[in-house]
């Protein structure tokens, strides 16, 4: 059985420790943080498969943390909320949390919900044994080898083309504006670089699409930007 990595984020050490005991009994590895900032730092360093996140915390609350996490990752998030925080709970769900548990909670219920989210995450194919590889209907990108294949045939991309494709494939279905693509890939402010991005996208299409005029993978959303179709 795989040992999943769960990040527990709560400003009360007693709650973090109690949750850790129950998750470890299920064979899970637990990382702990006292606020959203600590959680984001851990996510940069560790391979996390599930986040259990309190809403009310100092330095960075759960709502802000969820918003920032969802800009980069699709890891399932279970929110912990007091009954008085129903409005925040709804906001959290709207910006990307997957489930919530109201305090005080039964630890076994939380464990059951955690296992349910992990099953969904793995069964839907968002997570692989190694998160170094992303596959979308025959298009595969390997982050370790920096290689791309289409139906097992290798595609040679430039470094910039690879970075654009990696960004889009890491967030399938999400539309990225031309400005956002430029600033994330080129790491500099966007200054009328629309043609630069468009040229690179055209070259990527020529390499990964059977018919670039009717793309299967890399789609344009007119007036907004580009996305990799789910």
79 Cβ neighbours under 8 A, 6+ residues apart: 53, 54, 55, 62, 66, 89, 92, 93, 97, 99, 100, 101
Q: Which fold has domain 5-123?
A: Rossmann fold (3.40.50)
Residue 176's pLDDT band (cuts 50, 70, 90): very high
| Per-residue confidence band for 2, with pLDDT thresholds at 50, 70 and 90 | low
CATH 1.10.10.10 domain residues, the chain = 133-228
Residue 205: band (very low, low, confident or very high) from pLDDT cuts 50, 70, 90: very high
Which of 84 and 14 is assigned the larger pLDDT? 14
Say whether 204 sits in a helix, a strand or coil: helix
> pLDDT tier at 16 (50, 70, 90 boundaries)?
very high
Enter the CATH code of domain 133-228: 1.10.10.10
In percent, how much of the chain has pLDDT > 70? 92
* Mean pLDDT to the nearest integer, 200-214: 92
- Does the global pTM surpass 0.75? no
Averaged pLDDT score across all residues of the chain: 86
Q: Where in the chain is the domain with CATH 3.40.50.2300?
A: 5-123
Please report which confidence band the pLDDT of residue 134 belongs to, taking 50, 70 and 90 as the band edges: confident
- Helix, strand, coil tally for the chain in percent (to 5): 40, 20, 35
**Predicted pLDDT at 121:** 74
Q: How confident is the model at residue 212 (pLDDT cuts 50, 70, 90)?
A: confident
What is the sign, positive or negative, of the torsion defined by CA atoms of 33, 38, 42, 43? positive
Tokens of 125: 């194919």
Residue scoring higher pLDDT (144 or 9): 9
Bigger pLDDT: 86 or 12? 12
pLDDT score, position 51: 94
Digit-coded pLDDT (tens) for 51-82: 999 988 889 888 889 888 888 777 889 988 87
**Does the pLDDT of residue 85 top 70, yes or no?**
no
DSSP 77-95: EEEEEEGGGHHHHHHHHHT
Neighbours of 109 (CB within 10 A): 11
CA 20-25-27 angle, 5° bins: 95
């Amino acid at each position: 059985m795989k040992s999943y990595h769960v990040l527990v984020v709560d400003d009360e050490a007693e709650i973090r420790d109690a949750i850790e005991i129950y998750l470890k009994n299920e064979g899970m590895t637990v990382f702990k943080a006292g606020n959203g900032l600590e959680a984001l730092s851990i996510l940069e360093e560790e391979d996390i498969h599930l986040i259990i996140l309190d809403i009310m915390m100092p330095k960075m609350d759960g709502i802000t943390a969820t918003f920032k996490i969802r800009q980069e990752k699709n890891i399932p998030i279970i929110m912990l909320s007091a009954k008085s925080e129903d409005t925040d709970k709804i906001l959290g769900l709207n910006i990307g949390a997957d489930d919530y548990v109201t305090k005080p909670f039964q630890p076994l219920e939380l464990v059951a919900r955690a296992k349910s989210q992990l099953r969904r995450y793995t069964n839907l194919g968002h997570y692989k044994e190694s998160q170094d590889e992303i596959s979308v209907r025959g298009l595969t990108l390997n982050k370790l080898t920096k290689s791309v294949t289409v139906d097992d045939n290798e595609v040679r991309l430039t470094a910039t083309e690879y970075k654009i494709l990696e960004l889009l494939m890491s967030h399938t279905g999400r539309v990225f504006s031309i400005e956002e693509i430029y600033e994330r890939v080129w790491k500099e402010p966007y200054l009328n670089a629309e043609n630069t991005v468009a040229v690179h996208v055209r070259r990527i299409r020529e390499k990964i699409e059977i018919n670039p005029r009717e793309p299967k993978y890399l789609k344009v959303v007119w007036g907004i930007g580009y996305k990799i179709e789910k």
